[in-house]
Chain A
């Protein structure tokens, strides 16, 4: 079976992790001080979810945990070694598991859907698939010492 190149997987992981940081940061800022993210098309689901008891864990907004997860995923995208491959997979697995549980809570417990939370769950699912592909395809591969798989900005000239 052929896999996308590891460099492309790293770029995709970096892209979706950056989007995730944006989404989670928006949710965290909007909820700071008792507010809520704005749902598109004037829905009230975002406010309902933000004000439910599930929006915080040990007094900390769930979105803050999301930001930490996405930052870790972004970090792993900049390295091409087994630690980054497995670390990325483990963080994405945890995030994906949390997304499944939180989506269940939205549908069956709070009975409201927050579009921003769904966006984050979709991003985390994509990141889980990318990191799983990366681990299965490249676990045990030589570390990219020469930098050919390192995610680096293109050098000018």
Chain B
């Protein structure tokens, strides 16, 4: 009897030792696996950051400036196609511009922001951007790209970001890579749809260019206004300052 108990005791002891050894072995393997996973995770994060940093801007292929500034300027303002502001705003300011035009870029950065931050944000004025392509062959695809962004509610982000990263007139910078980088920076969510829409909107660019010619405009940016005190669309030409535009808005109200 005593021998049998001792044999059972030894067996239990052996099983305990084996179980502990198994646990220790399992622990070592798990910790090695965890260390490997942690190393892999560090490598992946570093590679992602390096790739992202070298692509510049907001995920595009070109360095983009002013993304935060544009987002802050347009934050909280409704956008539908290329119309910025409350659709029910009583006064509509229409801008005919060319994305390659440096004067338009100056207006986008200096003349229009005070209006956008005040009257447009308050719902008193809405601004409609229409293409009037006069600079060169890349103006039409650039304008169509903005309209395609507008179809996803990011038209004004596209315009403003394009202007803030504009290159020299007809220097060839506004290629497909640049247009796509601006789309990404502007927050266009469905890039495949944006790409498909671009070609479709070229006809619309030509249509509004013809409209600008009909209105006797001969440079960009040119403005027109419509409000309770105007009979239809009243042309303004190129008002030289924010003050001049404010005066026109006041007269049209």
**In terms of DSSP, what is the predominant structure of the interface of chain A?**
helix
Are A140 and B45 CB-contacts (below 8 A) given A53-B189, A112-B71? no
Stretch of B36-44, B122-130, B241-249 contacting A (4+ beta carbons < 8 Å): B36-44
Q: Which residues of B have CB within 8 Å of A56?
A: 189
User: Within the assembled complex, what's the spacing in Å between the Cα atoms of A97 and B19?
Assistant: 35
- B52 and A97 contacting across the interface, CB-CB below 8 Å: no
User: Within the assembled complex, what's the spacing in Å between the Cα atoms of A34 and B78?
Assistant: 11
- A104 and B184 contacting across the interface, CB-CB below 8 Å: no
Interface string of B163-189 (1 = CB under 8 A from A): 000000000000000000000110111
Q: Which residues of B have CB within 8 Å of A101?
A: 45, 48-49, 52
User: Within the assembled complex, what's the spacing in Å between the Cα atoms of A85 and B53?
Assistant: 35
Q: B15-54: which have CB < 8 Å to A?
A: 19, 23-28, 30-31, 33-34, 37-38, 41-42, 44-45, 48-49, 52-53
User: Within the assembled complex, what's the spacing in Å between the Cα atoms of A112 and B71?
Assistant: 9
User: Within the assembled complex, what's the spacing in Å between the Cα atoms of A85 and B28?
Assistant: 14
Is A22 in contact with chain B by the CB < 8 A criterion? no
Is B229 in contact with chain A by the CB < 8 A criterion? no
Which chain B residue shows the least CB distance to A140?
Answer: B27
Q: From residue A123, how far is it (CB to closest CB) to chain B in Å? A: 18
User: Within the assembled complex, what's the spacing in Å between the Cα atoms of A94 and B40?
Assistant: 10
10 pairs of A and B residues whose beta carbons are closest in the complex? A140-B27, A111-B68, A48-B71, A44-B75, A139-B30, A140-B23, A51-B187, A97-B41, A140-B26, A139-B27
